[in-house]
Amino acid sequence: MHELPPIGAIIDSEVLLNRLKYQGRKYTYRVDRLKLPNGKIGDYEYIQHPGAGIAIPITADAKFVLVKQYRFAISRYILEFPAGTLEPNEDPADTIKRELEEETGFRGHTWQKLGSFFLCPGYSDEVIHAYLAQDLEKLTHPPAADEDEEIEVVLCDRHELEQLINSGDIGTSLDAKSITGFYLALKYLDNL
């Protein structure tokens, strides 16, 4: 058995045949015949995604700002931290500052980059860029939310969020990017 390359090493698969490509409004769906680094050949489906930003906003009184919104792919309302897809050539920090204002009506004045991570690398190349937003200002005239969004702002303290995450109930839990962002933010929030 040979040694695998180091974690994080970029090793492209060889595209032998582009079988199908569908360009949607935001994402590209592909089915390609690939030769993997180990020499195996097969047909693989995947989604090309422009990336996204997520904000972990927290108020001066230690309340996390989340949004409750409908997600059609799972046919339910869930709680999430504000997030949005990157526009072409947009800096992730600009994306999430805009999304925070549109989705919650808050503006963050202090930002901390928490890191970036793959969301679901088994079928997508999407990278999420996470930021902590503090020194929040409630806007008197927030920008309008996207036309297809129906959003309710929800404030939760750390204990309430941890209860939701640890409940194990898919109907009341947060999505994976929100859970990841929450735990990345905790190291910057000493007194919670």
Which positions are annotated as active-site residues? 147
Q: For residue 89, count CB atoms less than 10 angstroms from its CB and return exposed for 0-12, middle for 13-18, buried for 19 or more.
A: exposed
Structure tokens at 48: 């090309």
The 10 Å Cβ neighbour count of residue 178 is: 25
- Smallest CA-to-CA distance from 23 within 59, 44, 7, 47 is with 47
Residue 178's alpha-carbon distances to 13, 27, 111, 116, in angstroms, are: 30, 21, 17, 13
User: To the nearest 5 percent, what fractions of the chain are helix, strand and coil?
Assistant: 15, 45, 40
Q: CB-side exposure of 103: number of CA atoms within 13 Å?
A: 28
Work out the widest C-alpha separation in the chain, in whole angstroms: 63
